[in-house]
Chains A and B, each alone.
Chain A
Amino acid sequence: MYTGMVTLQVLDTVFYEAQRQGRISFYVTTIGEEAINIASAAALTMDDLVFPQYREPGVLLWRGFTLQEFANQCFGNKADYGKGRQMPIHYGSNKLNYFTVSSTIATQLPPAVGAAYSLKMDKQDACAVTYFGDGGSSEGDFHAALNFAAVMEAPVIFICRNNGWAISTPTSDQFRSDGVAIRGQAYGVKSIRVDGNDALAMYNTVRAAREMAIGEQKPVLIEAMTYRVGHHSTSDDSTKYRPANEIEWWRMQKDPVNRLRKWIERNGWWSSEAESELRIDVRKQQEKLLRETIERHPRDYPEDVPL
């Protein structure tokens, strides 16, 4: 799990910088939410169907999507499975059971319920898992999906990444309920709130939710509390609407990757040498890969941007 989280961090840095340099048109980082991504993915099996929002590339990474495949989609080159039809970060992989990302908020929730119902009818030992943010919980599709999941008794896990911000809208402007977990309860869905920056807690919660969803053939809602350390996307500068020291505080004090690192170091399974080795390695790999991808598909690269 730890190497997964570090790889995700490095991947984010490399692609973010690539966008800033004009190499790709757009990017969305997952900074601060690495634990939710990787730990939840680790607790699932490959047969579980994933209906993402757009801040869950870590789930895809865990399942085996290669750095090359991520790059192809971001460049929209000929090797992109999506055939260059969508903006960067709109990944999808049928062989990894990760449904293609769409930009629209929460529209993936009702289909996740339908897919879960199909699994139930086919008596599969699997569930559907769908992710969304605090903002997504305001959309009509959220209410439609929870209600349907409860009535149809569909084995679906709803994971809300409550990261405090929907672009520039803080949760105080998003809802006045006691977060999102209480809404699950209101719909008759078993719900739990968890510290989303605690990789172990996240892992265990999703593991238990999966057993419940499949064993009882009922939906479960998990509200994972976290913080969106990065900007909403490369088109956003979040210092315009929130204090820079707030961002720094979360990045330094509450980073989920640091937290897990300290725990594995304390257990003697990791060291600072291993840490720098890993980071340098992954970074080198990715930069080399980007360069090669550009060279392989020169036509799918902007003419006016130097290599």
Chain B
Amino acid sequence: MASALRRLGSAAARRGLSTACEDTKKSLFQLPQAGGKSSNLCSAINQALHIALESDPRSYLFGEDVSFGGVFRCTTGLADRYGKSRVFNTPLCEQGIVGFGIGLAAMGNRAIAEIQFADYIFPAFDQIVNEASKFRYRSGNQFNCGGLTIRAPYGAVGHGGHYHSQSPEAFFCHVPGIKVVIPRSPRQAKGLLLSCIRDPNPVVFFEPKAIEEVPEEDYMLPLSEAEVIREGSDITVVGWGAQLSIMEQACAGAEKEGISCELIDLKTLIPWDKETVEASVRKTGRLLISHEAPVTGGFGAEISASIVERCFLRLEAPVARICGLDTPFPLVFEPFYMPTKNKILDAIKATVNY
């Protein structure tokens, strides 16, 4: 049953156009419907983790404070159900958490490592770049740590300031050998996380915060497949994670002014689905990318460069990037820092009227 739904999900995503999405609710038809109940992102993650630990006895979940449920409650009930030797607290040391996870994964286990906030992932950067991403390649495929999944909540929360709001995805997108996945909603998060855990590559999974209905069963969503969640003809708008709901509002606002926007959720940042974005830009001739992370060197730059390479003669206007400002993430100035609906709407209009 789950695999049939998986096939349906991926086929629908590839078809994209025939699901004729006018708003997000319709796009959910590609996913299992039975018995969904309202969940926030963390309970969706919790469901995915339960399923992962249940379905594979050689899977482990660990990180700071995960035992009692975690600071976001993503891991409630797991230690009680699966035992303290499979779900456990680690010392406060991100390089240790990720390194330990690499070792577990190298022995064929599924290691799900939690980093408490994406802002704290940097001590583990060496382990991720110099060990995890190269583990298989450098050994000529004698060894691998594909069972490793690193999850971290990321992004703006309204009051997070410098160290509880960061979007560090761009640093990781520059590392061949890992995958970077960012869901936009609880329903997406559950399916994508299960895919990441079961994917035979080390994955970094960034989790935003939101509320939505989530189906109860085991389902996976395909990696490296972008999803057209709103069809349009005047401009392609690309994003990921929490930013998508802001972008949807901007698209709705643009529609009132007679501009038809095609909105795409990238979902996997590396390796990313260039084909879907390119097909859309060939249709619309315009591209706007939006992300919370600072604009300079952000992942939007990679998308822009790649699409210009592929669609130069088709483009009617420069590729627009509406992103965070090039400053550390401020506290009281968050509303100015953020790529808001109005900034995006202005840019959509400017691009269409170029």
Residues of A within 8 A of B (CB): 80-83, 85-86, 90, 92-94, 99-100, 102, 104, 107-119, 121-122, 128, 140-141, 143-145, 147-148, 151-152
Contact = CB atoms under 8 A, between A and B. Distances in A.
Interface residues of B, number: 35
A99 B138 CA distance: 10
A100 B85 contact: no
Given A104-B130, A118-B103, 11 more contacts: A81-B140, A99-B143, A100-B135, A102-B130, A110-B103, A111-B145, A114-B102, A115-B107, A143-B93, A144-B95, A147-B93
A116 B102 CA distance: 12
B18 interface: no
Contacts of B138: 82, 85-86, 90, 92, 100, 102
A227 B107 CA distance: 34
Shortest beta-carbon contacts, A-B, top 9: A110-B99, A114-B103, A144-B96, A111-B103, A118-B107, A100-B139, A94-B142, A115-B103, A114-B100
Contact of A100 (B105, B109, B143): B143
B85 A121 contact: yes
A117 B103 CA distance: 8
Given A107-B130, A140-B123, A148-B90, A114 B99 contact: yes
Contact of A99 (B88, B106, B111, B130): B106
B126 interface: yes
Nearest to B137: A85
A144 B99 contact: yes
B103 A92 contact: no
Contacts of B126: 104, 107, 141
Nearest to A91: B139
Given A104-B130, A117-B104, A110 B139 contact: no
Interface centre among B104, B111, B130 (most CB of A within 10 A): B104
A14 B80 CA distance: 58
Contacts of A82: 138-140, 142
Contacts of A85: 137-138, 140
Interface string B125-146: 0110011001101111011010
Nearest to A112: B103
